[in-house]
Amino acid sequence: MKKALGALSLLFILGILLIVAHPDYGLKFGFGGKDWQTYRYTDEYYIEHGIEEVGGTNIVTDIVFDYRGYDTIGEATVLFTAIAGAVALLRRWRDDDE
């Protein structure tokens, strides 16, 4: 019973995702020309202005460290946290000898 319910809900999620992926109902793939300007305006802005505003020729690095630099410091904090957590969890137990 539980297994059947789980399988049904999985199929339901997959079905919804596939409906969403159909171009008539939702997401489209591979924009070009005018569609690109209407749907990917932010990307277009970065490609146009990235060099003069930030100075790096690699636009991805410009975004990672300048436009979305705050995300990157969050990401660095995630790494810091996870490593602190992993080292803390792998420390010696209180009753271990040596």
Check residue 47 for interaction with another protein (CB under 8 A): yes
- Kindly give, in sequence order, each residue whose CB lies less than 8 Å from that of residue 55, ignoring residues fewer than 6 positions away: 62
Check residue 39 for interaction with another protein (CB under 8 A): yes
Check residue 20 for interaction with another protein (CB under 8 A): yes
| Least distance in angstroms from the C-beta of 37 to another protein | 10
Choice from 1, 4, 34, 96 touching another protein (CB under 8 A): 96
Name residues contacting another protein, limited to 56-95 (CB under 8 A): 56-95
Q: Between 1 and 55, whose beta carbon lies closer to another protein?
A: 55
> Which tokens hold the place of 57?
């020729």
Sign of CA pseudo-dihedral 60, 80, 71, 30:
positive
How far is Cα 43 from Cα 47, in angstroms, rounded to an integer?
6
